[in-house]
Structure 1
Amino acid sequence: MTSRTVWIDSSAGGRYRFHEDHPFHPIRLALTEELLRKCGTLDSSRMLPSLPSAEAEKTVRSLHRADYIEAVKALSAEHPNPSVVSRAAEYGLQADGDTPYFPGMHEAAVSVVAGSLAAAEAVMSGKADRALHLAGGLHHAFPERGSGFCVYNDAAAAITRIRDKYDARVLYVDTDVHHGDGVQWFFYTDPDVFTLSMHETGKFLFPGSGFAHERGVSTGYGACLNLPMEPYTEDDSWLECFTAALEKAVEAFRPDVIVSQHGCDAHAFDPLAHMHCSMKIYLEMPRLIHEAANRYTGGKWIALGGGGYDHWRVVPRAWGLLWLEMNGDPLLRTIDESPSEALLPADWPSLTSEKRPALMPAAWLDDTSLWAPMPRRAEITEKNRKMLELALQHLG
């Protein structure tokens, strides 16, 4: 294989589907892959398969409580036993909740873990320098329950494999607008896994955690950094805080590998949060992570997907920019130098749906000159700076 960046086949992620109207819909994966193929930046030579399901299930059993796994399996039946259904809420999987059970749920969730394990193995074995698994990033799952659209925690699984098999220090960077709570709590006492999460403050958004005082405990104290951003934060303030925090984290921790989660729901169009960022942050954050990997980890970088609920206008562009950065694609120069000329393929998307917006973006980046600025911009920026100062105190 000549490429040093690999794409983990995420087609199995299409089975991870709660129901047709659920915001966490796999059409995001199909739209992203089609966009990149139309641009000529993705072909079969870059793709690797997931690891075998049996291997992934073994890892799942090492992370999640046995009774939870058995409940997930029972609720995965076409017609679950009523006695199991009556207890589903105990495991965060109630039918009318954020994370409803569905037929084949266990197998689908295991397949997501298998993809993220494959990404970790590709990089840590030396087969690749960088690996992307967009079906992954289910960062809210806990050992004993599902949460926030997440059944099994594939990010924690990938990190655990890296720690157990390769004894490497892992920097986990989470840019989803929702706090990466599940991953944080999995490794809250581990001094060799540093979790950095940037998100909208839990004062106003699920899951209600991720405050600056959450810094790890016991031997893990100091290996946790949270950046709870004010609602309606815009690009410049978001990137100011992210740049400073990432630099401080890599300098203090000196990781062997970076695992990043790329939820793209901090965009102004996203219906489930209150940020006011544009596609600019999804161009710049992967660039900053890539630079950090090159300087501190010998280039080792594993990237996962995550949230993002404007399926058509935002997610494919954001995840597309991530893939372009991981490959150093020449299209990035056009996007940087002539944003108005960096147009999306005219024949994309070919996928049809009654939910497709009438007006689709024509370019990779947003023209924010057409957006109304936030009236409290200066106040929001100052609050974010004070938060950043507090958050970084324990890193010296």
Structure 2
Amino acid sequence: MRPVIVYDTLLGAYDLAPWHPLRPERVTLTLDLIAAYGLIATGDDPGPGRFSLLPPRAIDREALALVHDETYIEAVERASIDPDARVGHGIGTGDDPAFAGMHEAATRVVAATCTALDHVLSGVSVRAFAPAGGLHHAHRDRAAGFCIYNDAAVAMVRALSERPDLRIAYIDIDAHHADGVQEAFCNEPRVLVASIHEDGRYLFPGTGSYRERGAGDGLGTTINVPLPPYAGPDGYRLAFDKVVDPLVRSFAPDVIVTQNGADAHWSDPLTSLGMTVPGYEMLFTRLSTLADRVCGGRLVALGGGGYSWLTVVPRVWTLLAASLLRLDLSDEIPAAWQERVRALGGEPPTRLREDPGPDLDDDTVARVEHDTAHVISRIMAG
């Protein structure tokens, strides 16, 4: 049951604009680094401890309609044909500019995540990675936050429709709140949605208070841990160990889906958290271990945000890939990948985990620790 990476070059068509911060190179550079470490099986060497590459399987329009309104899908299609058309629904904004072929490109991202989840639920693989996925801000009737269609929500609703007794834990560590996924499953008791993110009082989309806990039959199956600005590995560790881990264990899912946005990194230009590359590795180890303990290791990992795309995101997601394989990678980055970064105009890191972290004064560190402990205590108090 070889783990899979769901990817093909057509996924690079999800390219909102040449100037847009969500660069498709984040994914291609990640795949290049994973391959440089020898983690992708080839015809010459298909040995164990490697991923197989699996192209997305096509999905039909009905799959999108499980989550998105028909009028919205039609608007995306119109803008896809004529990017200058004013179709509304959040399309044509600075965050979500229209582009030719947008519907097809966004649908392929959804297809990749659906393929990854199908592969794990069918028992063909225990682990799957869909690095182009994780577009968690798309809503039922509008685009938002660089996201056109909500791939995670579509994949999970589709899986639930085929397997009514399925239980899914969705864990999101992106710097931004998983608002679109939360919206899709607010009333759904079969899906636990857990989001650790920067407090919405300081960052888009402005939601994700610890008071948001679901509604109706889904009350208690939504959990949010809003962290203060500059919170880093210690804050994420505390949030995971004290809140997310015990809730997921109690929920007893059949599979875990994770969104692994790398934009909580301290150098990210769009956020204000303080994560480090080793901090992400710590989180990935915890996520992998949790899956082993509660659902036989079944884990579907998605990409997400991350805007230090040249040198940070590929390293973070390569460590994610290593965690799915249960491997400990050498810290020395292969020379071939370093040359790839230089060719794109960057100065590559030479070490996989090299990361000085943010330079914070003692007062800031103390405030972050206090505010993090406070919000976690409020969550645990119910």
Pairwise same-fold verdict (TM > 0.5): yes
Corresponding position of 2:168: 170
**Once the 2 structures are TM-superposed, how far is the Cα of residue 41 of structure 1 from its aligned partner?**
1.1
C-alpha change, 1:308 and 1:374, in structure 2 (3 Å) is: farther
Aligned match of 1:373 in 341, 349, 360? 360
Aligned residue runs from structure 1 range 1-396, under 5 A: 2-3=1-2, 5-44=3-42, 46-52=52-58, 55-77=59-81, 79-80=82-83, 85-86=85-86, 88=87, 90-94=88-92, 96-167=93-164, 168-331=166-329, 334=330, 342-351=331-340, 356-357=345-346, 359-368=347-356, 372-375=359-362, 376-394=364-382
Please state whether the residue corresponding to 2:335 is helix, strand or coil.
Answer: coil
SS at match of 2:205: coil
Shift in Å at residue 56 of structure 1?
4.1
CA distance in 2, matches of 1:141, 1:262: 16
Residue ranges of structure 1 left out of the alignment (5+ in a row): 335-341
What is the distance in 2 between the residues matched to 1:241 and 1:275? 14
Moved more, 371-380 or 297-306: 371-380
Report the CA distance shift for 1:67/1:247 in structure 2 as closer, same or farther (over 3 A).
Answer: same
Question: Does structure 2 retain, via aligned residues, the 8 Å contact 1:10–1:115?
Answer: no
Q: For residue 49 of structure 2, what is the aligned residue in structure 1?
A: none
Give aligned-pair identity as a percent: 36
The alpha-carbon distance between structure 1 residues 243 and 97, as it changes in their structure 2 partners (threshold 3 A), is: same
Q: Which deviates more from structure 2 when the two are superposed, residues 40-49 or residues 63-72?
A: 40-49
Q: What displacement does 1:47 show?
A: 1.4
Tell me the distance in 2 between the aligned counterparts of 1:381 and 1:352.
36
Mean CA deviation greater in 169-178 or 383-392: 383-392
Q: Give the drift of 1:299.
A: 1.1
Letter of the structure 2 residue corresponding to residue 109 of structure 1: A
1:42 deviation in Å?
A: 1.6
Q: In 1, Cα distance between the equivalents of 2:193 and 2:18?
A: 33
Query: Conserved in 2, the CA contact under 8 Å of 1:312 and 1:356?
Result: no
Aligned length: 372
Q: Which amino acid aligns with 1:378?
A: A
Question: Gapped runs of 5+ residues in structure 2?
Answer: 47-51
- In 2, Cα distance between the equivalents of 1:300 and 1:246? 17
8 Å CA contact 1:140–1:180 kept in 2: the answer is yes
Cα 1:393–1:362 change in 2 (3 A) is same
CA contact (8 A) 2:232 2:279 kept: no
Asked whether the equivalents of residues 266 and 358 of structure 2 are also in contact (C-alpha less than 8 Å), the reply is no
Instruction: Quote how far apart the aligned CAs of 1:355 are.
Output: 6.2
Give per-residue Cα distances to partners, 1:346-376, cap 9 Å, x unaligned.
Answer: 221443688633x3211111343x7523431
Q: Deviations over 1:145-204 (max 9, x none)?
A: 000000000000111122111231010000000000000010001111110001000001
SS at match of 2:285: helix
User: Following TM superposition, by how much is the alpha carbon of 1:12 offset from its aligned partner in structure 2, in angstroms?
Assistant: 2.3
C-alpha change, 1:391 and 1:278, in structure 2 (3 Å) is same
Deviation at 1:243, TM superposition (A): 2.2
The question of whether the paired residues in 2 share the 8 Å contact of 1:120 and 1:161 is answered with no
